[in-house]
Chains A and B, each alone.
Chain A
């Protein structure tokens, strides 16, 4: 992919959104004005690690340590691209 997200990029949750674990839905959700996105298991695992300090490569290292042997790098990139595309994530440089 030509415009792949640089590994040094530091994502944070955009101010419009709030991430939380939602017991009644049994999943992580993103809440925003008058709406809610339910997140799949891996999306939740990725987003909950995003704190505005860790870079993408750090996030991927953490996930690899948590789920050893799982080839997750491409999927994480794909999800992060969707998340930026939807405006869920922001970065100072993006």
Chain B
């Protein structure tokens, strides 16, 4: 049971993620946005966002991420960056690069933007454009060059899955060519759209082992020049990730309509209502709201987590994964091999990945776009 307000909350929302919009010119089939993106028409206006930035900063937020959807769609992005920087945030722009041009890169610099992260879908034009559902590869490439020209620290992010994992070496070479400071090779996490497309996206163990070996080789080779982070899909692990560093511990996500989430995937959890910055202060949302207190600390845990010495390390893993795979969000994340559901998860993943790749391909990828979102809602 959640004991609302029973423990004084010591935590601070160090990380504020502003999902400015769910509009996006791309259609990645692994997008972690919710399936019902088409419903989010009422976006917070500039004033609303400015108020969120000020309130969260006062509470100790230091990192500010602008994401989406595609944040470049918002024409007030320059204003938000400037205010964020003035308030003392480290400002991060998390973008696909589509909607960027040199004038805007310069304007962001002027506004005080600290860092730009660009995502690529793949290392070659054809696959990149297929996965993103748009002709964007060359443009991204040009934008990444400009980001370096304007002396931003640059992170390149590539979501890794079955369709691009065998090209991991080319992907890394591309990031070296683009002079990234930091590269995130992030295995798909199966929420939202990627859950729909799981069978087509989940790589095999063999593919993973090979990719991991190559990533480690380059980590060694690039030491001191470029940091490479390689995140394996946690389905193949025996301990869960410390999801969000614990619920309501350091992360605060505000979605386009102003609703506040402890994690951008949390919307799928049952019985939760997410407080909105239109009706409540950020302080109340973080410290007082039932939602942010629900899985805070460890009062909500059942066995095996409750008596587990590792609970301060991984906080029982991901609530969404526990819910999706066991039907109860207060269970241990079944990635953990202490979970009674772990064997079932392994069997499911094996069944999915052992199938010959050709037979897994018969179901087409569902691309993330407003039309599919509306169709899913009416299905």
Q: Residues of A at under 8 Å CB distance from B? A: 15-16, 18, 20, 22, 24-25, 29, 31-36, 87
Contacts and interface: CB of A to CB of B under 8 A. Distances in A.
Contacts, number: 45
A36 B63 CA distance: 8
A33 B92 contact: yes
Contacts of A31: 62-63, 90, 114
Given A34-B92, A36-B90, A22 B155 contact: no
B308 interface: no
B60 A33 contact: no
User: Which of A15, A16, A87 gathers most chain B CB within 10 Å?
Assistant: A16
B114 A35 contact: no
User: Which of A25, A31, A33 gathers most chain B CB within 10 Å?
Assistant: A33
Nearest to A20: B88
B153 interface: yes
Q: Which 3 pairs show the lowest CB-CB distances between chains A and B?
A: A24-B60, A31-B90, A33-B115
Given A16-B153, A18-B90, A34 B60 contact: no
A25 B90 contact: no
Nearest to A29: B62
Interface of B: 12, 14-15, 59-60, 62-63, 65, 88, 90, 92, 114-115, 117, 151, 153, 155, 181-182, 224
B90 A16 contact: no
A17 to B, nearest CB: 9
Nearest to A33: B115
A25 B65 contact: no
Contacts of A33: 90, 92, 114-115, 117, 153, 155, 181-182
Nearest to B115: A33
B88 A35 contact: no
Nearest to A87: B224
A32 B90 contact: yes
A31 B88 CA distance: 10
A15 B63 contact: no
A15 B182 CA distance: 13
A45 to B, nearest CB: 20
Contact of B62 (A15, A16, A22): A22
A35 B88 CA distance: 14
A12 B15 CA distance: 27
B59 A32 contact: no
Contacts of A24: 12, 59-60, 62
B62 A32 contact: no
Nearest to B57: A24
16 contacts: A16-B181, A18-B114, A20-B88, A22-B88, A24-B60, A25-B60, A33-B155, A33-B182, A34-B92, A34-B115, A34-B155, A35-B63, A36-B14, A36-B62, A36-B63, A87-B224
A58 B115 CA distance: 32
Nearest to B152: A15
Contacts of A18: 90, 114
A75 B55 CA distance: 39
A3 to B, nearest CB: 15
Contacts of B63: 31, 34-36
Given A18-B90, A20-B88, A24-B59, A34 B65 contact: yes
A20 B224 CA distance: 24
B231 to A, nearest CB: 13
Contacts of B90: 18, 31-33, 36
B236 to A, nearest CB: 25
Given A20-B88, A36-B62, A15 B153 contact: yes
A87 B12 CA distance: 27
A87 B223 CA distance: 11
Contacts of B60: 22, 24-25
Contacts of B181: 16, 33
Nearest to B250: A36
Contacts of A15: 151, 153
Contacts of B15: 34
B251 to A, nearest CB: 11
Contacts of B155: 33-34
Given A15-B153, A29-B62, 20 more contacts: A16-B181, A20-B88, A22-B60, A22-B88, A24-B59, A24-B60, A24-B62, A25-B60, A31-B63, A31-B114, A32-B153, A33-B90, A33-B155, A34-B63, A34-B92, A34-B115, A35-B63, A36-B62, A36-B63, A36-B90
